[in-house]
A and B are shown apart, each in its own frame.
Chain A
Amino acid sequence: MSLRRTFIKGLWRENPILRLAIGLVPALGITHLALNGVYLGLATTIVLLAAVLVKILVSEFVSKDVGVFVDLASLTIFTTLLYRLTGNYQPELLVQLGIYLPLVAVNGFVLQRLSVDQPPSARIMDALGMGLGYTAVLTVIGIIREFVGLGQFFGTAVLNGSLTPFSLAATVPGGFVIVGLLIALYNALSGRGGEIDE
């Protein structure tokens, strides 16, 4: 597969949330605000990319079994660094994200992408494409939930009393419904459905 196709597949054909249904925790837990979706998606992409670079650098020197621990160590280090940086520059955002930012270290999507065996250049493009696809879907979910649940668009009130927001959409159960409907829409558009990939 060419590098371009490796990059593009994460945006739609093998999107982590819509197609693979992995890394759904932030999609349900924290995307009641679109900004949270953007930030957490980008944070996950940065951590994944950094962990992939470490994996490429050390893969020649460590066995596969030890490599798992190296992955977990690098994920922990990069997530902690990101957590501290966010705390220094965006303390309010850090409070909003709560435990979901530290949980990037055990995000199923990140762990799954690190376990895929590919050449180094393909690994980087895969991490970039998948990360951006993940960020895009988290953002879309955030925009829908924020608009329906709070009547806002990136923190700006847009309904101005013309419609009462449906606050359930901003809760986790509302997130279940919206993510479920989005995946159903994706299935309808791509002509699939019925299976959960392992």
Chain B
Amino acid sequence: MTFFSNIWRNEKSREIIVQIIVLFFLGWFISWLVMNVNANFKALGKDISFEFLFIPAGYDINQYLIEYNNRDSHLRAGIVGLLNTGLVAFFGIILATVLGFSLGIIRLSKNWLASKIAYWYIEFSRNVPILLHILLWHGIIINTLPHPKKAISLGDVTFLSNRGFYIPKPLTENGIELVYLFTVIGVIFAVLFAKYCKRKQDLTGVQYPVFWINFTVILSFPLIAFFLSGMPISFEIPALKGFNFRGGMHMSPELAALTFALGIYTAAFIAEIVRAGILAIDKGQREAAESIGLKASKVMNLVILPQARRVIIPPLTSQYLNLTKNSSLAIAIGYMDLVATLGGISLNQTGREMETMLIVMLIYLSVSLTISAFMNWYNNKVKLVGR
């Protein structure tokens, strides 16, 4: 009796006991859930099997980044969908970041009009559900742009229609290797030059216009190689043939609508995060920077933003994750992402809802954890280093 009451009175052992009990019940609950699913599946005469992943999917997907036709397996259809999810998330994140950072800074601008416009933009975007954004953009594109036969033509090489945007597709020819080589050389030069200038500045305080020099180098090296090797790039111009345009590069209205909607919606949240990050920096920092004569842009780029970044990155990560997960709403407008392929048509054709949903969930989980891991790495890199 005294032994047990002693254990219970000891704070350390009591904590352990409570945790063991909680763990036991949690484990018991989960195993009950699994057993219940199993029992109910048995009662329904269903089994859990992943064999369907390897039989031909039988359906077509209108946008694929890797080769795909309807004889490929459900697994491959799922990968095609995953890559489409990745594509729209990638474009969306870039758009949201650029737009969000700009808006966040404009929102703090002393210019009354600019600040108010940013304010209204943010309030409108983030207070309208994302699904409506997607439907709105899709509706705008397919209802306001003309039919392919009356497509808006930009110099007869780029076309806008309600079937999407068509731009010329670059085709490489012999001699392109030289351009690649010069591109790599240009980049290596730029990196080394930036390092050299940094060291020089640390030692002597002399500043070079590093950005502009590197910009010119990276742009001009491949260009010079391009002309030297006899212009080894030609363009495939999209042309109206039958019902639609053929050739060229095609961005479907669904991809465009989804990218705009996700980017514009998430940008509003990012703008607020950026604003919060900037306001979190003590105003003494700004005053100190101004007092030593730094320009406004330098105050922002060298003093405020590097410190604000530490505050900004963790919530920014959540926004990237949200954007990626929100892309699953693609199904509303028929963009063939992971949910529409593996979690949609494959599910229907095979009837394996439990299996497909588990796979789709696991994939989203791993994608999110990957983004998270990357952002944590970046966060560690920019965090305040104690010296």
- A and B assemble together: no
Residue ranges of B at the interface with A (Cβ–Cβ < 8 Å): none
Residue ranges of A at the interface with B (Cβ–Cβ < 8 Å): none
